[in-house]
């Protein structure tokens, strides 16, 4: 008898099956070509033995709906859902997803635990994906290494097959618990409703395993899990002396028996990400002011608030270096500042206006305006790469605290900053290309509304300083 699914079969008059690339308990994964959009995709097809059951088809459909709401860099993109009926009346239910290239975390962990920095990066990205799901009221319920794919662009959380809404019953209609025993939160054994805290517990297990190579409570069945929770020792990370204490604390808090004692996924992401950034640099020594130069006739353009801001924001998207900035000896003007009589060197963006009374500006000249922080050279010695990177990171932190930088944008920029300092600091790359990418990312995020104009301008200035730091 010919198999229902085979290479070459066309589903929904659109998706041509190429080859089977994976299988799970409920589904098989096919590589397929979308003949409408001419691209290769992944098709998650409900196993033939389950396809006749409307309940399981409904679960596949709900998975597609849940995952399709999550447009996030660390969640697998869902493109489509479909059902086809064969001539014999059999139904094929499938989800169309982006085709990923990478390695499952589960397979990677067969080689042993990850270096702590890599484990923390994986944990931070999974936590960020879960925070996005929780904001939409979705609980994943099956965060395991098998459902985390490691790709060139970071991790991807897979398989929302048993995801549900916050507060929904956490058992199926037969009273069975969903999920993988070793990663299931204790309260789920008692049938407590689905909550974000249950995902955080699973995240804690995953992070513990990535750091140590083992889960805190080994179990293959619900009975073994109950026994391990009752008799097993309290998890510890004391055998990892090189692990930063904040990582150990947030991991163990995530494994708390009481859900109320666990952090949120967003808090986990923030703590883990902070440990991947360069340590705070020591304060720079106070520099003595340089003697003032003899008075020189200098023409200064009139700065009209709104017009100047529009010119500066336009320059964010297309950085241009203006030679006249050299002649002005690194003087930089923010939108809310007027020229001071004697400017002191600064180490980063300045938001506080000077206390000197405003000085009337001469008439508008026909020459080009002075160089700004977003387009010209730094206003002072930027110091080392780490010192300059710390200033960028502190500016991101200030923007997040002030609500001027969206949380996902802050995470994105910090990831980019960390990758830059890691690659350049270890000699694996040049400084100019990643700095240009980071400045372009600020411009794009500004256009998306993820950064306020004021912070976008200051960030661009700080990143420009980073571009000429000492490596």
Q: How far apart are CA 154 and CA 127, in angstroms?
A: 13
Residue 354 lies inside a defined structural domain of this protein: no
Q: For residue 35, what pLDDT is reported?
A: 94
Residue-range definition of the domain harbouring residue 420: 281-288+302-331+370-471
Q: For residue 308, what pLDDT is reported?
A: 32
Are 110 and 230 part of one and the same domain? yes
Q: For residue 162, what pLDDT is reported?
A: 67
Q: For residue 285, what pLDDT is reported?
A: 44
Are 314 and 448 part of one and the same domain? yes
Q: For residue 21, what pLDDT is reported?
A: 87
Residue 349 lies inside a defined structural domain of this protein: no
Q: Which residues contact 392 (CB under 8 A, 6 or more apart)?
A: 417, 459, 462, 463, 466
List strand residue ranges (DSSP E) for 305-402, in order. Answer: none
Widest distance between CA atoms in the chain = 96
- CATH number at 107 reads 1.10.510.10
**Residue numbers in the chain where pLDDT is lower than 50:** 1-2, 174-175, 280-291, 293, 295-379
Q: Which residues contact 255 (CB under 8 A, 6 or more apart)?
A: 201, 204, 205, 208, 216, 235, 262
Contact between residue 463 and residue 438 where contact means Cβ atoms under 8 Å apart: yes
Q: For residue 59, what pLDDT is reported?
A: 73
Q: For residue 25, what pLDDT is reported?
A: 65
Q: How far apart are CA 122 and CA 284, in angstroms?
A: 34
Active site residue ranges: 142
Are 59 and 124 part of one and the same domain? no
Residue 22 lies inside a defined structural domain of this protein: yes
CA nearest neighbour of 141 among 172, 99, 111: 172
Q: For residue 90, what pLDDT is reported?
A: 78
Q: For residue 377, what pLDDT is reported?
A: 43
Q: For residue 88, what pLDDT is reported?
A: 77
Give the DSSP H or E segment for 97: strand 91-97
Are 190 and 249 part of one and the same domain? yes
Are 145 and 250 part of one and the same domain? yes
The domain boundary residue, chosen from 48, 72, 97:
97
Give the count of alpha carbons within 13 A of 369, CB side only.
Answer: 21
* 234-275: pLDDT as tens digits: 899 999 999 999 999 999 999 999 999 999 999 999 999 999
44 is in an annotated binding site: yes
* Count: domains in the chain: 3
- Helix 245-254 vs helix 265-274: angle between axes, to the nearest 10 degrees? 160
Q: For residue 77, what pLDDT is reported?
A: 86
Q: How far apart are CA 160 and CA 137, in angstroms?
A: 13
Q: For residue 205, what pLDDT is reported?
A: 97
Q: How far apart are CA 330 and CA 427, in angstroms?
A: 29
Q: Which residues contact 214 (CB under 8 A, 6 or more apart)?
A: 208
Q: Which residues is 383 bridged to in the sheet? A: none
Q: For residue 41, what pLDDT is reported?
A: 94
CA nearest neighbour of 274 among 445, 147, 390: 390
Residue 81 lies inside a defined structural domain of this protein: yes
């Amino acid at each position: 008898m010919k198999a229902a699914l085979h290479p070459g079969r066309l589903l929904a008059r659109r998706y041509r099956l190429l080859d089977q690339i994976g299988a799970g308990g409920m589904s098989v994964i096919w590589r397929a070509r979308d003949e409408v959009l001419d691209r290769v995709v992944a098709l998650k097809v409900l196993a033939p033995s389950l396809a006749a059951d409307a309940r399981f088809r409904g679960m596949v459909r709900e998975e597609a709906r849940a995952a399709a709401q999550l447009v996030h860099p660390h969640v697998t993109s869902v493109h489509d859902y479909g059902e086809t009926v064969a001539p014999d009346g059999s139904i094929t239910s499938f989800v169309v997803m982006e085709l990923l290239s990478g390695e499952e975390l589960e397979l990677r962990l067969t080689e042993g635990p990850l270096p702590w920095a890599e484990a923390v990066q994986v944990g931070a990205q999974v936590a960020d994906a879960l925070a996005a799901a929780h904001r939409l009221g979705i609980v994943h319920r099956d965060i395991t290494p098998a459902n985390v794919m490691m790709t060139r662009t970071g991790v991807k959380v897979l398989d929302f097959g048993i995801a549900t809404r916050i507060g929904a019953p956490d058992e199926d209609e037969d009273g069975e618990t969903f999920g993988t025993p070793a990663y299931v939160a204790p309260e789920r054994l008692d049938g407590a409703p689905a909550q974000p805290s249950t995902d955080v517990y699973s995240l804690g297990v995953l992070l513990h395993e990535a750091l140590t190579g083992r889960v805190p409570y080994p179990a293959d069945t619900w009975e073994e899990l109950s026994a391990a929770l009752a008799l097993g020792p309290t998890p510890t990370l004391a055998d990892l002396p090189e692990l930063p204490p904040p990582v150990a604390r947030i991991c163990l808090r995530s494994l708390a028996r009481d859900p109320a004692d666990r952090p949120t996924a967003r808090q986990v992401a923030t703590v883990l990400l902070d440990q991947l950034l360069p340590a705070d640099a020591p304060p720079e020594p106070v520099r003595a002011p340089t003697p003032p130069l003899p008075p020189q006739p200098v023409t200064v353009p009139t700065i009209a608030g709104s017009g100047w801001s529009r010119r500066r924001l336009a320059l964010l998207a297309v950085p241009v270096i203006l030679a006249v900035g050299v002649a002005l000896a690194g003087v930089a003007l923010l939108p809310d500042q007027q020229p001071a009589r004697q400017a002191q060197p600064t180490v980063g963006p300045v938001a506080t206006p000077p206390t000197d009374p405003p000085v009337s500006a001469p008439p508008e000249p026909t020459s080009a305006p002075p160089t700004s922080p977003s387009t010209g050279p730094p206003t002072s010695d930027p110091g080392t790469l780490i010192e300059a990177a710390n200033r960028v990171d502190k500016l991101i932190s200030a923007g997040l605290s002030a609500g001027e930088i969206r949380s996902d944008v802050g995470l994105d920029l910090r990831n980019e900053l960390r990758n830059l300092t890691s690659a350049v600091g270890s000699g694996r790359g040049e400084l100019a290309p990643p700095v240009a990418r980071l400045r372009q990312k600020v411009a794009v995020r500004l256009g998306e509304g993820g950064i306020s104009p004021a912070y976008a301008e200051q960030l661009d200035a700080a990143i420009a300083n980073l571009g000429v730091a000492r490596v």
